[in-house]
A and B are shown apart, each in its own frame.
Chain A
Amino acid sequence: MVSLDGGAPVLAATGDVSFLGCVIAADVSTAIDVIGGEDAVYGVEDRQARRAGTHLDLAGGSGRQTVAESVNDDFEVVVDSTAGQETLLRITIGKHYDFVVALPSGEPDATTRALTSARERQLVMAAAAGDSEAYAELVNAFLPAIARVARLYRGVARVERAELLQEGVVGLLRAIRRFDPSLGTPFWPYATWWVRQAMQQLVAELGRPAVLSDRAQRSLARIREARRAHVQTYGREPSSSELAALVELSHEHVESLLAVERASQPLPTRVGDDAGGFQTAEVALVDPVAEEEYERVLSRLEIEAVRDLTNTLTGREREIVFKHYGLKGPPQTLREIGEELGISAERVRQIEERTLKKLRAATLKLPE
């Protein structure tokens, strides 16, 4: 059982409860942990009195079902839709909270589930260390799940799905970099907090109009022009660091201006902005992510390079280190490497020492 007296709920690794996800309530003011047992779901708020949940048939069913029994009249869990490997639940607590959480439902569907949990964990840890291939594979695997989260924000004016997906991917990266597997929680529920956080921030930001000074407008014009020229020359969007170098402004200044630009257009009437906060998601079929959406997200991936120390090495340095430590085929001795390269084993050793010093110096230099 979940211990709900005092302190935050215990996030058990095994046993009868698990941390299923964390959601931010509609008014962006409270984070709610969703704890699931075999037959019950609880929404638990840290700051306020605990409220217990209801029995819920987690084996799923599709369509809409209202849970009949309530431990507490205030708490209602409605299964909104079941599609593929996730169930969307709408949870209302009294008048104040109305939010949707995605839960894994039933057995993973072999055709739709891209990753086993061992593979998932392996990829997450590799990506956190800077392996960009692992990161790309994770984005690919989770983009449909991110898209389902994005569906929650349908109906919020001025927010485009593509933007939400981008934000969701950024949230995924943040979760990857912070994830601690010794917690015992599965990765995706942990990641949902960060995915939603990124989307929530986008939505909140777009709600505030801002006025631009002449100087800011001129800087923005330079940024737009630099961006356009970069796309034309290199066929891809520049990263914000590249943009900053191009327009000779600081990275932070560029980010500030882009944030202002996003919010500076006039705001039409918000749709779905009633006390409930979220529009009810319509009963959803599996929401396929269009090919071009993948493309856009993945091309941005290349730009936002995940930290990879080997970027600082020359080809030969990389080759020596990879060969010596078996990072590219079986490991070779310094002598064998030397023979291949036509240099002495001692020379190989010296280059390797220098390479390791370079990697060390690169670590000291991060971040820019």
Chain B
Amino acid sequence: MDRGATQLGTRSQPGLLHEALLADGDETFVAQVAAFFRAGLEEGPTVAVLSRRHWALLREELGADAERVSYTDCDDFYIRPIDALASYDATLRRHTANATSVRVAGEIPLGPTRSGWADWIAYEAILNRAFADRPAHVLCVYDTRTAPDPVINAVWRTHPHVAAGADDTGPRYHPPHDVVAEFTPSPRSDLPLRALALTDDATAFREALSAELAAAGASRAQVLNMLVAALEVFENAIRHGGGPCALRAGLVDGWFVCEIEDSGSGLDDPLAGYVPPTPGKSGGEGLWIARRLVSRLELIPADPGLTVRLWL
């Protein structure tokens, strides 16, 4: 269906082109995404991270060209935002190792819950910073018939370019910091946590933490994940925060929670730990590692300083 004004963008500068397609149905989806891929096939690698149903439709449209597109099932790719960022990072690095540009079309399985939608809205904002310097044209596809209103509204704020047929009057792009801050749930206060013996010795901290985890009945895999994650945060507190000033742990609604507080200069970046580290370049990957290993990581201003809260 041709609304006349649905035009996809072209990369005119070396870095990321992050674009959204608001499709009003399968016909628009197939026509636009096929055109997106065809335009890219001569330039370099093309990657589809789509539902199997959409890929089946697209394959029919692309015919023989479909074999030149790499496909991954979106349900396996978009697990949590941090996992999708890691997968995207790996995908982009792999495909740009021998090419100067790559095209990716992706659709996010939003899932049935509102908290899930908020996570993915924040994810879209993060993409803008995480991959700003990658030579990629990323097309995020949304189906306006089925995607929830809050998600569609946010698309305009998280994508510098939106291809949406004749209706081009939505609110405009916002900086990632603001969007992520808005869609990060406020941390709960006054959690019933127990204080751990204050120490700046990493081994003593690990022993105390693992005792708490064992008492909570955590599985081996969970214990190791939490130990590695908490160690990163602990070492950050020493390196950047003047050493921890409080250590807490306990069970909250069946979750195991650990908090590490310092009274250093604090951290006002809701995207901290979401930008994939550069391979071979060390420094600054502690929060990324921690986010990968635990269910949720919260950065809470301690005034002064910072509390990092890890949810297992």
Contact = CB atoms under 8 A, between A and B. Distances in A.
Q: Do A and B come from one complex?
A: yes
Interface of A: 7-8, 11, 19, 22, 28-31, 33, 46-47, 118, 121-122, 125-126, 128-131, 134, 171, 174, 177-178, 180-183, 185, 190, 193-194, 197-198, 200-202, 204-205, 207-208, 210-211, 213, 215-216, 250, 252-253, 255-256, 259-260, 263, 308-310, 321-322, 324-328, 331, 334, 349, 356, 359-360, 363-364, 366-368
A366 B89 CA distance: 10
A182 B149 contact: no
A8 B114 contact: yes
A134 B220 CA distance: 11
A22 B110 CA distance: 12
Contact of A360 (B112, B217, B232): B232
A-side binding surface: helix, strand, loop or mixed? Answer: helix
- In the A-B complex, the 6 residue pairs with the smallest Cβ-Cβ separation, listed nearest first, are A204-B53, A325-B210, A22-B112, A126-B219, A208-B56, A252-B70
A127 B118 CA distance: 24
Nearest to B185: A182
B91 to A, nearest CB: 9
Contacts of A128: 295
A166 to B, nearest CB: 13
Given A256-B67, A364-B288, A367-B86, 13 more contacts: A11-B114, A31-B146, A122-B254, A126-B222, A180-B113, A205-B56, A208-B57, A210-B59, A213-B64, A213-B67, A252-B71, A255-B71, A325-B223
Interface in B105-149: 109, 111-116, 145-146, 148-149
A263 B295 CA distance: 37
B211 A205 contact: no
Contacts of A349: 203
Chain B's interface size range is 35 or more
A210 B219 contact: no
Interface stretch (B11-19, B74-82, B159-167): B74-82
A125 B87 contact: no
A96 B232 CA distance: 53
A34 B196 CA distance: 43
Contact of A181 (B111, B223, B254): B254
